[in-house]
A and B are shown apart, each in its own frame.
Chain A
Amino acid sequence: MASNPFSAAAVAGAITQPPTGRDYLVDRSFRSLALVGAVLIIALMAYILYEIGGQAWPAISKYHIDFLTTSAWNVQDGVFGILPVIWGTLYSSLLALLIGGFFGLTVAIFLSQDFLPPRLAFVFRTIIEMLAAIPSVVFGLWGIFVVIPAIRPVANWLHESFGWIPFFSTSLSGPGLAPATIVLAIMILPTVAAISQDALNLVPYRTKEAAYGMGATRWEAILKVMVPTAAGGIFSAMVLGFGRALGETMALAMLIGNSNTISLSLFSPAKTLASLLASNFPEAGPIEVEALMYAALVLLLITLIVNIAGIGILQVTQRRISGKS
C-alpha cells in the first residue's frame, strides 16, 4: 500500500492525495505485461533458431561448411550445396534494392518536398502503399503473363547487341533474374518509399528554411541538405527493403527459373534460398529435409545479419551526426 509521508502534516480534507493502491497496481501490471511481451519475442526468436538449428543439425554435421561453398543439389547421391542459391538470393535482392531503392527514394522525395499539393500527395502515398497489399502470388502471375513477355524482346536485343557485357551474356528464355528482379523491386518499393518519406518529413522545417535561406535552389536544398539530413531513416528504409527482398518467396519461385547457376547475366535463370525452400519442401524426403533446414538456417542468419548490421551502421552514423559520441 502506498505510504504518504506528508499525511501527518497535511490539512485534513485536502484535494492532494497519493496515488491509490489500485493506481500502483495498474502501473505495475502494465509494466510486467510489457516486460512479458518483450521477453516472449526474444524467446520466440531463440526458439525458432533452436528448432531450425536442431533440425538442420544432422545436415550441418554431415556437410559442414562445404554446404555453403559447393553447387550440387543431388538428392539421389545425397550431395547438397547451396552456393548458387546464396548467390541468387544476394544478387537478386541487391539488384532489386538498386532499382526499388532508387525509385522508392525518388517517390519519397516527390511526395515530401512540396512538388504536389498535400492532399494529392496523400492520395499518391496511399496508392503506393496499396502495392504492399497485393499478394505475392498475384505479383508472380503478373510477372509471368506481363513482365516476361514485355521484356523478352528488349532482353534478347541487349543480349545480341551487347552480349560481351557480362550482364547480358545469356538470352532470356522465360523466367530469369531480370523479370524476378523487376517484380521484386516493385514489391519493396512501398516499404522504401513510405519509410524514406517519413524520414524526409521528420527533417525540421528550420533546416529546410536554412537551406533555402542560403540561396539554394530546390534541387540543391533536397540533394545537399534534406536527403543527407534524413540519411539515417533512408538507410533504414533500404535495409528493411533489402530484408524483404531476401525473404520474398512466392513471386520469386514463380519467376526466377529455379536453376542452380551462378551467372552475372541478368537474363540467366537462378534460384534463391526462399524459392528453393518453397519449391523443394513439398516433395522432400527426410535427408533432403535436413539439407533444406540447413538452407533455412542460412537464410535466417543472412536476414538477421543484414538487419543487425543495418541497425549498427544506423546508430554509428546517427551518433556521429548528432555529435554525441
Chain B
Amino acid sequence: MTATQTIGSAASPKGAAAPSPAADVAIDCRVEKIFYGNFLAVRDSHVPVQKGKITGFIGPSGCGKSTVLRSLNRMNDMITGFKLEGHVHFMGQDLYASYVDPVVVRRYIGMVFQQPNPFSMSIYDNVAFGLRLNRFKGNLDDKVEHALRRAALWDEVKDKLKASGLSLSGGQQQRLCIARAVATEPTVLLMDEPCSALDPIATRRVEQLMLELKDDYTIALVTHNMQQATRVADITAFFGVDISQGGRTGYLVEMGETKQIFEEPREQLTKQYIRGEFS
C-alpha cells in the first residue's frame, strides 16, 4: 500500500526497464499487444494519460480505443481469454504485475460506462456504495451530498435521495454514475463513451461536468464523436484499424494536443478520419 503515499511523485516503476514517465503523467500506458484468445485486438499503443487533463480516445469502430481504456483499470480481466503484453504504470506500479489485485486497481481508477448503470437501490445508496466498500468511517451524508453536487445532480435529487436510482432519466442516471465514481475520490476517471446513450442536452451537461471535474481528476475519455473530443479533450489519441494481418487490429496512429490533431494532423490516416472520409 506504499503506492498511496507516492501520489503525484511519479516514482520510477518498480523493477521495470521502461523509462520513468514524465512527472505529469498519471497513467503511462505502454501496450505492446492485447489478445482476446488468439485474436490480436490491439498493438503498439503507448498512451501516456496526462495528469489533470482530459485525454480523448477517438477512432473508427473496432480500433481498440475502448479495449485500451478498459485495460487501464483492468476491467478487461473480466473477459476470458484477455491477455496484455506490455505495461501500464500508475503510481509507480505496473498494474499488470502479478502481485497487483485488479480489485485494488479499480478502487483507485474509477470508471463510467457507455450505458448508465446505476444499481437497483436508492440514489443515496448508489453514491454511498463505493464509500461503504472502502469502509469509509466519516460522515456518509456529507460525502454523498458532495459527490452529488460534484456531478451537478444534487439539486434535482436532494428531495428524493431514497428513490431508486433507476427512476431517474437517462442523463440523470449517467450523472448518478459519475457521482458514484467520484464519491470515493479516485485519482483517475475512465469514461467509456459516457454520452452515447444520452440526448444532446444531457450530453452537454455531462461534457460540462467533465470540464469541471478535470480540476481534480485525470480523465480518459473514449468517444465516438469527434466534436465531443474537440469540445472537451485537451489531448487526443487517434486509433486506427490495421487489417493487413488478416484480422482487425487496433493501434495508436498518433497522439497530441487536440488542436494539433484536428488542425494539423501528422498522419494521412488521421487527416482522412478527421475529414470524415471513414468512420
Chain A residues within CB distance 8 Å of chain B = 204, 206-207, 209-217, 220, 224-225, 228-229, 320-324
Contacts and interface: CB of A to CB of B under 8 A. Distances in A.
A217 B110 CA distance: 15
Interface string B86-108: 00000000000000000111111
Interface string B182-212: 0010000000000000000000000000000
6 contacts: A209-B75, A212-B78, A214-B133, A220-B133, A228-B119, A322-B166
Contact of A323 (B113, B130, B166): B166
Nearest to A226: B119
User: Which of B107, B110, B129, B181 lies at the interface centre, i.e. has the most chain A CB atoms within 10 A of its CB?
Assistant: B129
Contact of B133 (A209, A215, A320): A215
Given A215-B103, A228-B121, A206 B129 contact: no
Contacts of B164: 320-323
B120 interface: yes
B111 interface: yes
Nearest to B115: A206
Contact of B103 (A216, A323, A324): A216
Contacts of A213: 73, 75, 106, 110-111, 113, 181
Given A207-B120, A211-B119, A217-B103, 13 more contacts: A204-B117, A206-B113, A209-B117, A210-B117, A212-B106, A213-B106, A220-B133, A225-B119, A228-B121, A321-B121, A321-B164, A322-B167, A323-B165
A93 to B, nearest CB: 29
Contacts of A323: 163-168
Contacts of B78: 209, 212
When A and B form their complex, which 9 residue pairs have the shortest distance between CB atoms, in order from nearest? A323-B167, A215-B107, A215-B106, A323-B164, A206-B117, A210-B117, A213-B111, A321-B120, A229-B120
Q: Is the interface of A mostly helix, strand, loop or mixed?
A: helix
Nearest to A117: B80
B177 interface: yes
A65 B129 CA distance: 51
Contacts of A216: 103, 133
Interface residues of B, number: 32
Contacts of B121: 228, 321
A225 B119 CA distance: 7
Nearest to A323: B167
Nearest to A207: B117
Contacts of B134: 215
B41 to A, nearest CB: 18
A209 to B, nearest CB: 6
Nearest to A225: B119
Interface string B154-192: 000000000111111000000001001100100000000
Contacts of B104: 215
B62 to A, nearest CB: 20
A217 B103 CA distance: 6
B75 A212 contact: yes
Contacts of B165: 323
Nearest to B114: A206
User: Which of A207, A209, A224 lies at the interface centre, i.e. has the most chain B CB atoms within 10 A of its CB?
Assistant: A209
A207 B111 CA distance: 13
Interface in B54-105: 73, 75, 78, 103-105
A144 to B, nearest CB: 46
A13 to B, nearest CB: 41
Contact of A214 (B120, B129, B163, B168): B129
Interface string B243-267: 0000000000000000000000000
Contacts of B167: 322-324
Contacts of B130: 214-215
Contacts of A224: 129, 133
Nearest to A220: B133
Contacts of A324: 167
Nearest to B168: A323
A188 B192 CA distance: 44
A220 B119 CA distance: 13
A118 to B, nearest CB: 10
A214 B106 contact: yes
B166 A321 contact: yes
User: Which of B107, B110, B118, B133 lies at the interface centre, i.e. has the most chain A CB atoms within 10 A of its CB?
Assistant: B133
Contacts of B177: 210
Nearest to B78: A212
A111 B184 CA distance: 32
Nearest to A218: B103
Contacts of A320: 164
A214 B180 contact: yes
A207 B115 CA distance: 10
B95 to A, nearest CB: 13
A209 B76 CA distance: 10
B113 A209 contact: yes
A216 B106 CA distance: 8
A215 B165 CA distance: 20
